[in-house]
Amino acid sequence: MSVADIVQTMQSKFNAGAAAGLDLVFQFNIEDGENHYLVVKDGTCDVQKGDAENANVTLIMDTETLKGITSGETDGMQAFMAGKLRAEGDMMLAMKLGELFPV
């Protein structure tokens, strides 16, 4: 499964209700794959390939970790504690991803 496939799967699970009134950019830097970012704005989610200019939070991990977190096999907090996931920027927004993209 490619990073693009994983990100598309995330988009299909998007909870628009949890995104009402939000205007955020989540950057995903994938160490062994392509970078993507999600623009969450007023109940919508737009996926883009590449690097966002002003990401609110950047999540750095490998493809396997991203796949595990989005499928529910890996707990994001455990991945973070184990050093498999790093976050730069507003760490509290990383926690919001669970509400926006329920597994």
pLDDT along the chain (103 residues), means of 10: 90 93 96 96 95 97 96 93 96 90 89
The partner residues of 57 in beta bridges, in order of sequence, read 26, 89
pLDDT for res 94: 87
Look at residue 103 in the predicted model and tell me its pLDDT: 83
Considering the entire predicted model, what is its pTM?
0.93
Residue 95: per-residue pLDDT: 86
Return the DSSP state at 70: H
| 39-43: long-range contacts, CB 8 A cutoff, minimum separation 24 | 40/100, 43/16, 43/17, 43/19
